[in-house]
Amino acid sequence: MVKYCDSVFTFLDDHHIPPDNNASERTIRNFKVKLKVSNFFQSTTGSDGYAVIRSVIDTAIKNKQSPDEVTRLIAILPAAES
């Protein structure tokens, strides 16, 4: 603890940093509940797609943006060339 006290106790100096990781745990909860209830995803592509969509929605919420508006804006973006 002495060696890493600057990193471990950063939340004492910066009040914008929470002292726990509850936000991170809440973020992955939806994914884990979906996995537990359905017992699996039908394909890796399906689970990857679900993870991307949840990530976009959770990021929008954390940035105080409308998930509906953000997903609408993404939907109208031109497709990226491969």
Q: What is the pLDDT of residues 12-39, one digit of tens each?
A: 888 888 888 777 777 777 777 777 677 6
What is the overall mean pLDDT for the chain? Answer: 82
Q: What phi and psi values does residue 41 have, to the nearest 5 degrees?
A: -100, 155
DSSP-assigned letter for residue 21? -
C-alpha to C-alpha distance for 36 and 25, rounded to whole angstroms: 15
Output the pLDDT for position 67: 92
Look at residue 69 and tell me whether its pLDDT is greater than 70.
yes
Q: Where are the domains of the chain?
A: 5-75
Output the pLDDT for position 40: 67
Question: In percent, how much of the chain has pLDDT > 70?
Answer: 91
**What H or E segment, with its residue span, contains residue 35?**
helix 22-38
Mean pLDDT within 65-73: 93
Q: What is the four-CA torsion angle of 68, 73, 78, 82, rounded to 10 degrees?
A: -60
Output the pLDDT for position 66: 94
